Structure 1
Amino acid sequence: MTTVDSRGVPLEDYMLDDGSSYVKLPTVPLPAGSEILVGDEAWRAAMDLAKSRAERPVIAVDVYPGGDVDSLIARIQSALPGIEIIDVEDAAGATPEAIEALIARNLTSDRVFGVMSHFELDEFYDVDRRDALRERIGERTGPVVLVGWGADLAADRDADVLVLVDMARWEIQQRQRAGAGNWRAGNGDLDILRKYKRGFFVEWRTADRHKRDMFERVDFVVDGNAAPEGAGAVLGDDFRGALAAATTGPFRVVPFFDPGVWGGQWMKSTLDLDPTPQNYAWCFDCVPEENSLLLEAGGRVVEVPAMDLVLSQPRALLGERTFARFGAEFPIRFDFLDTMGGGNLSLQVHPLTDYIRDTFGMSYTQDESYYMLDAGDDAVVYLGVRNDVDPEEMVAALRAATDGEHPFDAEKYINTYPARKHDHFAIPAGTVHCSGANSMVLEISATPYIFTFKLWDWGRVGLDGIPRPVHLDHGVKNIQWDRDADWVDRNLVGQVEEIRRESGLVEERTGLHELEFIETRRHWFDQSAAHDTEGTVNVLNLVEGDEVEVVSPTDAFPPYTVHYAETFIVPAAVGPYVVRRTPNSRSERFATVKAYVRGTRTTDD
């Protein structure tokens, strides 16, 4: 009999299969003895616990914005017939109009960009209605279940049992694409980019601040990504134990894949993806704010946001110095950009730190780099402006191109460089760039997510048929015109420096530019390569070779298998570790690319 998870996925889909392929559903083990409850059994267990603590208990079911509150209430009613259930959002939430007025300045009129907010959840509740709800709760004659985003606040943070229904942002985006709206907004038919903007700049920031306060108190965590009738739940102690244990060894987040207008075919074939979509443009393989973790026990899984680990274990995960610099943010992003058999990315530029802070309220910007996992014979990278380019002439040509009738002659103004497998191009903010067609890029970058200013998109529309937004005014203010061919040649292309060489091992610095805060190292090896986190988080990808394992020289964690193109995280708390070939490895040579934050290692003193 096949064992399945709470969503009907066979458990073997989560396991390392034959030791040779990309694992699309990696798991993180729950502590020994943990049990995942599914559907009604979770709600009955919550009520049993509540009744053991109080005669007329209050259960607060706090739901991350984007969760299906109506379906949750129906599920709880089925599991606990006769129990009073209150939708706290309807009972005490501010009107949609009041919320809209409150957040208008943060949303702006722009389709994509807003301003980072610092709201607390109680600002989205009507004070009088909230107080009336609390009075109603105080007068209860039996058990009551409060459901919705803010249930913990409605219970005055004093519920007898606290349940967190958590969701990954990627799942929220899928629901929004299918017609779901933002929290109490009634905007299901709104442009998806505007719905994402409201989540990114307002709702998710507020929600993360709110749930971070609950982590140490929560009694149950429920998988809000799954349908309520089959959603898994885990005890709060087991949830906390799994996150703490995750910082003691290497792990992977759950990658997600998405099509795009320029998408290619490399990931579909090489990573054995569903062949149905026309292409795959993106894969986010290490973006904890977007990705999730699968917590596994006894043949079942609970999916939680990977950001929960960052928020609850920042020092052990990031390291003291990285945490001191960035707070509970994961500053390094690894993702794939597939244009093999596809088209060029948009010609773009990222904002300078001063600009992104003053304009959008972000504390750091998207410095990045392109590492070529693979490339066709005609692959190129567009990088920097050509020598002696006339800025006014180029800007005028870009503006003319916005009418869709005067294509921008990119090669006239932008340098092109041949791209070969294992080339690494540094791209500090302010540098005009894009990857051309027939490239498979491992993008290594900082993590402000959406702050890409498109300058020219080759006259395309999005998959939704709507012209993709071009932010020329923002972009022009950030182009560094002195980054011409001469400067790019000296600073961004072919910047490989050998650090050490010994029998069967070569370590190289492959970038990035001195203006960027990420350091990257490539290790070529035949048998093994020794590493040490030195007190800061490491992010690695196996860019050459079929299979390796990550081991502890002191057996501090069990061997962890990694396959070609898989990105994995080694928490700062791990210290020394070794990447080595496995008995199943068939490759003769291996290589990893490792990234970490400069100036945060113990040897940087």
Structure 2
Amino acid sequence: MLNYDKEPFTRIKDWNEQAWRGYEAIAKEIFRSVNGQLKSIITIECYPAVRVQEIVKGLLVNLQEPNVKVIESEIAAKSINEVETMISRFLTDDRVFGYMAPFGIEEFYDKDKLEQLRAEVNAVSKGIVIVIGTGASLIAKGDCTIYADLARWEIQQRYRSREFGNWLVDNQDEEILRKYKRGFFIEWRAADRLKRSLLPESHYYLDTNQKDDPKLVSKEALFDSFKQMISQPFRLVPYFDPGVWGGNWLQEHIGLEEQTNPYAWGFDGVPEENSVYMLFGDIRLEVPSINLVFFEPTALLGERVYARFGAEFPIRFDFLDTMGGGNLSLQVHPLTDYIRQTFGMNYTQDESYYMLDTGPGANVYLGLKEGINPQEMLADLERAQAGEASFPAEQYVNVFPAKKHDHFSIPAGTVHCSSTNGMVLEISATPYIFTFKLWDWDQVGLDGKPRPIHLEHGARNIKWDRSTEWVEKELINPIVLIAQGDNWSEERTGLHETQFIETRRHWFKGNTPHHTNGGVQILNLVEGEEVIVESPTSAFAPFVVHYAETFIVPAAVGAYTIRPSERSIEGNHGTIKAFVRQG
């Protein structure tokens, strides 16, 4: 089962000559684009956490112009105190949660200082002026404009290593939770607004994910590559992260390197966090997958989904590995009105657990027992949080045995968690950080500190009527046969009617028909070694998927089929598919 591809890519056609790797080649191309002008302005707009000094050094060493002036945009930023005052309401004092901020990048800059830098640019009479940094485009419109980008997962690695703090603040040593929160609620939102308006007007796109290994493509090549990708199935670049309750399934089945702390999470279907690899000849460009959503929303999502959610990918797939590990935290997700009023999110984190695999004693904690006293439960949770006693979870929460291929729906407001010895494929709505932990089984985080518990938020969102009888009827394996044909069957497995995601499972031994029906679909191969996704009209090349791999089928694809490959014809095969429910 070690066929899982940890570095999937999409080969891009026709644009090999429009991609460059390394600062020498990139500087040569930039110089070519502005050659012959007495004065040239190169504007390099940067996503927060781009290594600005690396770019400056790489270009200065290789540009063929002796007269080069560099202006860094952050010189014109507001002071730390001014920025803190501006964002404090949205940042909050909480370690995890803030409020979605409405700022544009321009609001972080001092207008007078911007004018001073513009005057510096105008004062140069000949040579090259490089204006670089987050907000560089506020200072000068470039004769050559480059957008320097990187994936959010790479940003998090730079946070963790303390190479970077957040933008415009000296907080490299602050805990990762607070740095992530500031990025998520404040700076990434502002940077995305600028990216969406500026990138279509830029001349080049610069991939800065790998240290000292930049890749450049022309804007035309980049945007055509987006169109190529959304015309066929594709995979995101997965990443994996350790956790206190982590297990051994991901390491053993996916072939990950052994490390001190076991892997707890696998992210293989989260476009806000993952990236995509695009291959231009032998140059591999890494692009945040959210860019596909920003710049090809209708073709990727479909008109109906785009109209409902805007340029957001509303569904996510990820892995939760407790095989041989510990229990997940006992938790609840916010109700829709609460997440909107409290955090500024438009929809909430409805989800489900699909049991990709289980071991002995695997259980799912789901919903509350009949007739419990809410005040007594909350009091016991408070005593547990104070360290006075462990929380008697089984006294209040239902415990259901879980076996491979079981599916548990978890609408917001339902108390839940997975126990040890479960390999969960979590299918959920995208607002993915809004987990209110109620009890963490006396565990502490990998940093030795207690993980954040949010009893106050949790108490306000628990649906106390989600008790045993209702849970058993509504949330556990609500499987209905929908259709069947020669060697295949289709089942509706959830989610609950209060959730906007619908899931379908296909069991098959032969060619199985599918159709996007005008909406994006995300799938995982939950049984079988290898399958082939094909177009009945040969609109895209056959696409190979291995066991446990998640893949996206854009709305524009329309009809497609899935069949076992020649190397995997024995036994039954199964996929789980999620899409936005109509109506």
CA displacement at 1:471 relative to structure 2 = 0.4
Q: Deviations over 1:187-211 (max 9, x none)?
A: 0011110000000000001111101
Partner of 1:25: 7
Whether the aligned pair in 1 keeps the contact of 2:74 and 2:135 (CA below 8 Å) is no
Matched, 1:310 2:290: no
Whether the aligned pair in 2 keeps the contact of 1:546 and 1:587 (CA below 8 Å) is no
Give the whole-Å Cα distance in 1 for the aligned partners of 2:549 and 2:197: 33
Partner of 2:119: 135
Secondary structure of the residue that 1:164 maps to in structure 2?
strand
Whether the aligned pair in 2 keeps the contact of 1:20 and 1:546 (CA below 8 Å) is no
Secondary structure of the residue that 2:524 maps to in structure 1?
strand
Counting matched residue pairs gives 578
Partner of 1:146: 131
Q: Deviations over 1:167-191 (max 9, x none)?
A: 1100000110011200110100111
Partner of 1:243: 226
Mapping 1:163-182, distance limit 5 Å: 163-179=146-162, 180-182=164-166
CA displacement at 1:84 relative to structure 2 = 2.6
Partner of 1:3: none
Whether the aligned pair in 2 keeps the contact of 1:83 and 1:145 (CA below 8 Å) is no
Give the whole-Å Cα distance in 2 for the aligned partners of 1:319 and 1:88: 40
Matched, 1:100 2:70: no
Amino acid at match of 2:365: Y
Please, which runs of 5 or more residues in structure 1 have no aligned partner? 1-18
Q: Deviations over 1:532-569 (max 9, x none)?
A: 00100000000000000110000000000000000000
Partner of 2:168: 184
Mapping 1:118-517, distance limit 5 Å: 118-141=102-125, 142-155=127-140, 158-179=141-162, 180-227=164-211, 229-517=212-500
Amino acid at match of 1:222: L
CA displacement at 1:503 relative to structure 2 = 2.3
Q: Deviations over 1:451-472 (max 9, x none)?
A: 0000000111110111100000
Q: Deviations over 1:1-40 (max 9, x none)?
A: xxxxxxxxxxxxxxxxxx9700001112223242431222
Whether the aligned pair in 2 keeps the contact of 1:77 and 1:83 (CA below 8 Å) is no
Give the whole-Å Cα distance in 1 for the aligned partners of 2:217 and 2:472: 54
Secondary structure of the residue that 1:213 maps to in structure 2?
helix
Inter-CA distance 144–584: structure 2 relative to 1 (3 Å threshold):
same
CA displacement at 1:392 relative to structure 2 = 0.4
Give the whole-Å Cα distance in 2 for the aligned partners of 1:129 and 1:571: 45
Amino acid at match of 1:84: V
Give the whole-Å Cα distance in 1 for the aligned partners of 2:277 and 2:194: 22
Secondary structure of the residue that 1:94 maps to in structure 2?
coil
Partner of 1:10: none
TM-score, normalising length: structure 1? 0.94
Give the whole-Å Cα distance in 1 for the aligned partners of 2:200 and 2:69: 25
Give the whole-Å Cα distance in 2 for the aligned partners of 1:487 and 1:267: 33
Give the whole-Å Cα distance in 1 for the aligned partners of 2:506 and 2:208: 40
Q: Deviations over 1:494-523 (max 9, x none)?
A: 200000122211100001100000000000
Partner of 2:73: 89
Please, which runs of 5 or more residues in structure 2 have no aligned partner? none
Inter-CA distance 245–344: structure 2 relative to 1 (3 Å threshold):
same
Inter-CA distance 378–187: structure 2 relative to 1 (3 Å threshold):
same
Moved more, 68-77 or 374-383: 68-77
Q: Deviations over 1:257-293 (max 9, x none)?
A: 0000000000101011112343110011111110001
Amino acid at match of 2:128: P
Matched, 1:116 2:100: yes
CA displacement at 1:83 relative to structure 2 = 4.2
TM-score, normalising length: structure 2? 0.97
Amino acid at match of 2:115: D
Partner of 2:571: 588
Give the whole-Å Cα distance in 1 for the aligned partners of 2:400 and 2:414: 14
Q: Deviations over 1:337-391 (max 9, x none)?
A: 0000100000000000000000000000000000000001210000001110100
Give the whole-Å Cα distance in 2 for the aligned partners of 1:34 and 1:217: 21
Q: Deviations over 1:218-243 (max 9, x none)?
A: 2221111111x321111111111111
Give the whole-Å Cα distance in 1 for the aligned partners of 2:512 and 2:242: 35
Amino acid at match of 2:262: N
Whether the aligned pair in 2 keeps the contact of 1:85 and 1:147 (CA below 8 Å) is no
CA displacement at 1:87 relative to structure 2 = 3.8
CA displacement at 1:140 relative to structure 2 = 1.3
CA displacement at 1:59 relative to structure 2 = 0.7
Secondary structure of the residue that 2:222 maps to in structure 1?
helix
Q: Deviations over 1:114-138 (max 9, x none)?
A: 0001101100111001011112112
CA displacement at 1:65 relative to structure 2 = 0.2
